Structure 1
């Protein structure tokens, strides 16, 4: 039977447990009444997606072609199966550096494009240094297809 509530009340000797529960109940009723009054003005208002949510959704659905990336960056992302900004922002710097022929210059380009849109890459691990990554190559200036199988 779940129609029962058991409460263990400890009070100061100057107050009876019954009075303490009654006082607490009265306070709760007053507070819930105030909260209910705050909601009266909002009745009848239908909440829909905000303009900000719609703009963010549009930006996330934007194809990477519209970012005007260099050919190297664009080809690397496409080859990795990244087709939208939403898919791009779900990757960290470490994830992107795992892509063959994608170096720190490409990372900097991507980060700059995302910052201009008010976005960023998924957080990289604390203390991550791209120059120490196994695929880092400071001379990555041009797209190199020669390494592909």
Structure 2
């Protein structure tokens, strides 16, 4: 049996969501199955996707809080039950969702007496709060609580080191305002578990991968799985496009040999799926091109492929040279689209 016959005889694995529940706004759970898989494949996929889900999926956190007339984080404001440190810990627990990259700003301006919750945070349109009932502070007198917040989107964890931090060193710490860093746990995925079920089918051992995902509501488990899968594809694109060069500068994989490699039989479709799902900020576009595309609400390669040369030329501040840069990118990844034939 040749390679093509093997590919035809294999069943394409199918992903199914077999269970999904939301116990509260900050607890989302889903269980997925992927099958059929050959022996050993389930563990390879499960281990890789678990690591990416826990470490590479992006989330949004409050990373700075600026108070006025405060000397240190253990200070107490008369009329507020919580210390500054306790307020910072409460801000750390707030779960946010943002569709925009870069630093965003929020604020709290509340006059007491009042119970201050996450609902009292004023945010830009690109950021929203998952659980607006989360407690921040109790004001029991007629005083004002005024806090400026810095919000960032990132991945993993940032542990602030107070020994190396001086609030007055911050660029935006002015007058009597002190800025305090907040440890950031960006990861929206709280836990991942996978298990494998083996069974005998068609004269061979096959496997089913069971994948359980818990999130804090910043992303739904299905969204987190999609992002993790996209990231995993991005990791392997350099291998997919790699060519080994000889010492004389020529490629050791000649044109007549390359098409016979099994991985290259699926390279075109794989590259299309991978690039379609990529965001434009993951590409090597110049700053000018990136800013123009973002202002035109072009966020992914899939969005970009809907634009013809004429459509791109109509985008404000996107000149002919920039359009050539975009079209060259499309030609390099060898993706054909109705709007941009290459």
Q: TM-score under structure 2 normalisation? A: 0.22
- TM-score, normalization by structure 1: 0.47
Q: Of the two, which has the highest radius of gyration?
A: 1
Determine which structure has the larger strand proportion and give its number.
2
